[in-house]
Amino acid sequence: MTTAVLITGTSSGIGRATAERLAARADVTVYATARRPETIAGLAEAGARVLALDVTDDASMRAAVRAVEAEHGAVGALVNNAGYGEYGTIEETGLGGVRRQFETNVFGLARMTQLVLPGMRTAGRGRIVNVGSMGGRIVFPAGGYYHASKYAVEALTDALRFEVAPFGIKVSLIEPGLIRTSFGETAAHSLAGSAGSAGPYAALNAAADRQMAASYRNAALSAPPESVAKVIERAVTAGRPRSRYVVTPAARALIHTRRLLGAAAFDAYLRMQFRGA
């Protein structure tokens, strides 16, 4: 019996790498999704089924889940991957952009989860894999709203894991560090557009932009999306998946440093990283 795996946000980066990796397995039927299906036509050639799905549109989400359930009875595994970063300081970032980010990163994830759970409960099994971030446990300046969305994913995942365990449904959280995808470019673009070059936070924004660019270019600090896809595959297929998977050595080091040394020491680290801001 094959497992039907529904993945959101597969047009690029982690989602695309995950769809390609899982589509190569004989025991998995991958449903790759994106707002514009033409952007993922290549995934059909790799063996995936292609569906339109916009995680900010309820009708679109319902239609995608119905399509999988019509063929398989239930979604076997949901990978909530769709997300992006809206960067800027708390004072200067427009709340319209913040709301759009939460619609994708948090409410879309929550709604997709609500839609697949009835079928999973009836089947008595299922997997939900939420792609969070190391940014759900540590915070960098000029990224507060993005981090808040990922902190929300942490909370939702922890509650969900306990709630659905009696129904045979397993829930895992993936916490990637810096992954070399278009995410960094999107975040830098939103940071550049969040305020004028002469505003009160201009120096901080410039420092954050430099730091972000340098970190994503650094092979020791970042990793390719295939590294995350490999971990997601493990969470989807393992008999006893872990509750959390932190991806990249740098992410593990930062999370443990923040936890062990506390806020004061981490703030001191940030002051060193953002010197001149």
Q: Is residue 197 part of a domain?
A: no
Q: What is the DSSP string of 177-243?
A: -EESSTHHHHHHHHHHTSS-TTSTTHHHHHHHHHHHHHHHH-TTTEE-HHHHHHHHHHHHH-SS--S
Q: What is the structure's pLDDT at 41? A: 94
Q: Is residue 172 part of a domain?
A: yes
Q: Is residue 270 part of a domain?
A: no
Q: What is the structure's pLDDT at 123? A: 98
Q: Is residue 177 part of a domain?
A: yes
Centre a 10 Å sphere on the Cβ of residue 202 and count the other Cβ atoms it contains: 14
146 given a catalytic annotation: yes
Summarize pLDDT for 29-57 with one digit per residue, the tens: 999 999 999 999 999 999 999 999 999 99
Name the stretches of the chain with pLDDT < 70. 183-197, 276-277
- Out of 150, 151, 170, 216, pick the active-site residue: 150
- pTM as predicted: 0.93
Q: Is residue 205 part of a domain?
A: no
Q: What is the structure's pLDDT at 199? A: 86
Q: Is residue 130 part of a domain?
A: yes
Q: What is the structure's pLDDT at 36? A: 95
Q: What is the structure's pLDDT at 183? A: 64
- Out of 146, 151, 201, 216, pick the active-site residue: 146
Q: Is residue 218 part of a domain?
A: no
Closest CA to 55 of 2, 116, 4, 120: 116
- The domain tally of the chain equals 1
Centre a 10 Å sphere on the Cβ of residue 168 and count the other Cβ atoms it contains: 12
Closest CA to 77 of 149, 17, 130: 130
Q: What is the structure's pLDDT at 52? A: 97
Domain that holds residue 16: 3-84+99-182+223-260
**Residue 130: helix, strand or coil by DSSP?**
strand
**Residue 40: helix, strand or coil by DSSP?**
helix
Closest CA to 235 of 130, 121, 114, 81: 130
Q: What is the structure's pLDDT at 206? A: 87
CATH number at residue 246: 3.40.50.720
Q: Is residue 72 part of a domain?
A: yes
